[in-house]
Structure 1
């Protein structure tokens, strides 16, 4: 198994339905390995935000997926209980069942060939995988049905299959206990790199999953949210706690710090040649996703990364420009001086500009840089390195020679009728922006097509730092570690740190808002924003109503294009905080209650 999910045997896609078949599988070393590989294969790839693949970005306030025939377009305006798209309830319960079979049967009683210590390690991996799958259910649907340790027989009656949901807190405690149970037998992080097995479930991944889980569990959506006062099982059991508990933030902070204190991982910084260790922030921020097995990677998966390149590249470079960052996502990036350019919005959607930042939307620049051509809007001048790494904008320069040359790269013209803008076909961004963060400059989408191989990054150290400071700020504001670790993220990003020292800027008075903005920028387009706006309980504000971009549909030149314009009006109500459970699932389990307001 070279990386998570890299191996899958079709014949193990279904659990054997008789004892003899189970015995046959687990008596043999190679079949035992293959069965575990099949359990690993249930870790879903989340690289493609289009079609029926994964919805998190297209249903968040940071991206528009341009195609109106894709399910998320309808879901952003008319998501009903009957909507079947992206429902993973059944998928994850099958994965949980497979993991449970492995835990029950991969032992020395059945397998006399494999080393018992190795079998114990594999069972720990399966237990960790099962905990991960339960967390995937929890983050999407809320409280789940906890299955018996011994899987229910496939021919069980509906009464035997009918189990109630556990409370959210019980679900969290169970996942934590399973992670803790697996932890001692998991391999150390970054072990066995020569064999390609370094990213099997290991102690680093275990602590990372626990960090993310406990951060979500401490957040306002499920920590004393009285909106869910009536969310109960049929017997009256309360499923979301009704009292705020600040100690949950401490548990989240402690979990993140435990991973940090392993001292195994480090923020990726790529030194410039012949500089004695000086690094380039933009190159480092780009290559953290392109350099395999780098110091920051905690959990990765071998996935098809073509969507990163295809949907982010402009048409003249062979791409589709189909993942369009929203204007609010663009506005969230800091200026080069480390200050936020926008502090809020007026009722008409116009921005409240931070005068201290130096940001302006008036005029164009006469100076070309490596990031943009002369004539680019002042909106895009003097922004931080992460902005130029992540966002393609009108008159920005493409990341390689495709459509141009190395010396004179393609300049993106994103107005309607521009070479990279709107036309009568479908492949153009309705927001006037496209994502370039995860696209590789080594990929060629023009003949001969070559996709630069790299892994999907599912967890990295920057997230853990941000998990830590968010949780720490909620239960112990003013703790010195808040600025220490927040500044580590900012320093790598190439912007001024917070503090009173030379070159630093005054820490913001609203540290919660500052941490959330840093998180939004650092983790943009990595499938976090969907869950963050929900757990913070702000999605009703930020994902409901008019969505802005540039005037990509009607602006036919640079001047007319460069205007904030509504491209879509979305609908988000309380029911959307947790996913709809399909009626077919409710019919199969007579004790299963659906999520509120669906």
Structure 2
């Protein structure tokens, strides 16, 4: 989808639906009226196009969106952020250290003209939501000559985008002010937060309404590919319901702004049915261009388009070719190296062996060759010592030397964990050292593999490994097996048998959570998953790296116990703090627990 920037009907807006003290009574003269915009189908469509440009992936062409060119993964146990600028910590480093609060946190790497802290609400927040509400209010002005399909599609997209912006806000803050209309200048915009239940219900309603309006078939026309469709609505609905059923939200003893306060077990069954509804569309399939599991997995993130070319994509930011993500995560040992997102030993150890058994440093065979015979997704995602590439950043037959004193373990950009990021990258065609080469980078908000993992989790929690949401539906094990088969991994049953572990609800829960960790690594899931599961308090306080020594005979000795970065967690970190500037502007705003 080509998205052309068109700034119209633009009014400053803050956290609580434009909770600024100043009245919203000035529209600059260079901006056009609603009548001018929506009475013309072409201009109306441009307005909707522009409404897509306030989502998180629009912070930057790079996937390193956070301040300091970091990924959110580096604020979790997935990775550590390494920067050539050692004097100014990135947002991920500040979050890891617990060095952030309502007054001092710059989150995104870009501002929005409302002060840097205002950018929290720009990308996946109230700026885009304002545009969606403006469209919803004024699409009735479309000329009578437009088709019903076009009119309904425009309204369906606007409703979906409104739901999506509320989702991103909910994911970070819990119960937030629901803004379901455009405010007039004379109205009181200092509105309070709504409960978790109210926000979840609102998002579900908008998804259902958008689904009913959007076309009954997938998009294939060039001007429609990349837009929100019925599958997008169902995927978002499934995700919000999965969160709603999770322990963080579906619990007693919490404030209604952060939880339901009355736990209901049936919420898992509702979430499972929502995920099964996506499957039942029969629009999607896992991306498998060939027989090689590693290549199938790695190539998905650089495969252009949707529809017939990449039917795993449900909703994504489709970008023209660039090399920004490669630039931000370029390994040491090359000109223009930056280090970037360096995977942790904790994540590396989570990748299974190729036969589905668990990796263990206590296994002498594993410890002697820790990178041999692992899950193919490990090789697609992690650059490790001894990793060899036929073509890497302009060099042929390149082998990484990340041992102490090795060329890739030296310099200002050297990894502190012993690993570099390979996922999302296309160093075969991109060379940041010389500043040439480009590739497609599609940031995925929803993809079919995630839907299958959502289905597996919700179904297992609802009734165990053999649960089905509806007649003919997938069991949790069947959903997992589809994801694993694409990667070239053995079935759940085989893996469990090889481990000598019985398959039941408890063991499958651990299996599912690790599968999410691997399949969705670095895709902004882990940070929120360990919170909604309420398992983050049990994770190690330091993430580990590996120290590798090359012996005289050419073999290597590995020490995987090196503590490289503390990951501080307080209970207040279950939710983001509401920026203090918003608290000051709106006396009805309540801060999240323990952030005062």
Superposition TM-score tier, normalisation by shorter sequence: 0.7 to 0.9
Contact 1:444 1:450 in 2 (8 A): yes
Q: Greater shift after overlay, 249-258 or 303-312?
A: 303-312
Q: 1:534 maps to which residue?
A: 531
Q: Greater shift after overlay, 255-264 or 436-445?
A: 436-445
Alignment of 1:39-50 (within 5 A): 39-45=51-57, 47-49=63-65
Q: Does the alignment pair 1:246 with 2:278?
A: no
Cα distance, 1:33–1:478 mapped onto 2, change above 3 Å: closer
Q: 1:99 maps to which residue?
A: 132
Q: Does the alignment pair 1:161 with 2:189?
A: yes
Q: Does the alignment pair 1:302 with 2:310?
A: no
Cα distance, 1:209–1:577 mapped onto 2, change above 3 Å: same
Cα distance, 1:54–1:447 mapped onto 2, change above 3 Å: closer
Task: Quote the Cα distance in structure 2 between the aligned partners of 1:428 and 1:412.
Answer: 12
Aligned match for 1:280, one of 292, 298, 305: 292
- Quote how far apart the aligned CAs of 1:154 are: 4.3
Q: 1:261 maps to which residue?
A: 280
TM-score with structure 2 setting the length: 0.84
Cα distance, 1:359–1:188 mapped onto 2, change above 3 Å: farther
Q: 1:171 maps to which residue?
A: 199
Q: 1:131 maps to which residue?
A: 163
SS at 2:581 equivalent: helix
- Quote how far apart the aligned CAs of 1:511 are: 1.1
Task: Quote the Cα distance in structure 2 between the aligned partners of 1:52 and 1:559.
Answer: 34
Aligned match for 1:421, one of 409, 414, 429: 409
CA RMSD of aligned residues (A): 2.9
Cα distance, 1:545–1:454 mapped onto 2, change above 3 Å: closer
- Quote how far apart the aligned CAs of 1:560 are: 6.5
SS at 2:288 equivalent: coil
- Quote how far apart the aligned CAs of 1:504 are: 7.5
- For 1:294-343, what per-residue CA distance to the aligned partner results, in whole angstroms no more than 9, with x for missing partners? 1211112134753432244434455433211111100110001111214x
SS at 1:550 equivalent: strand
Cα distance, 1:585–1:502 mapped onto 2, change above 3 Å: closer
- For 1:498-549, what per-residue CA distance to the aligned partner results, in whole angstroms no more than 9, with x for missing partners? 337999876545111011011111111111111111111112222x622210
Contact 1:9 1:34 in 2 (8 A): yes
Q: 1:484 maps to which residue?
A: 478
Task: Quote the Cα distance in structure 2 between the aligned partners of 1:487 and 1:412.
Answer: 33
- Quote how far apart the aligned CAs of 1:494 are: 1.2
SS at 1:265 equivalent: coil
SS at 2:388 equivalent: coil
Q: Does the alignment pair 1:439 with 2:425?
A: yes
- Quote how far apart the aligned CAs of 1:207 are: 0.7
Q: Does the alignment pair 1:325 with 2:343?
A: yes
Number of residues paired by the alignment?
541
Q: Does the alignment pair 1:474 with 2:501?
A: no
- For 1:60-89, what per-residue CA distance to the aligned partner results, in whole angstroms no more than 9, with x for missing partners? 110111125223212211222323222655
Contact 1:17 1:154 in 2 (8 A): no
- Quote how far apart the aligned CAs of 1:270 are: 2.2
Q: Does the alignment pair 1:17 with 2:44?
A: no
Q: Greater shift after overlay, 307-316 or 292-301?
A: 307-316
SS at 2:33 equivalent: helix
Task: Quote the Cα distance in structure 1 between the aligned partners of 2:509 and 2:560.
Answer: 31
Cα distance, 1:117–1:484 mapped onto 2, change above 3 Å: closer
Aligned match for 2:215, one of 183, 187, 190: 187
Task: Quote the Cα distance in structure 2 between the aligned partners of 1:337 and 1:211.
Answer: 31
Q: Does the alignment pair 1:207 with 2:217?
A: no
Q: Does the alignment pair 1:314 with 2:308?
A: no
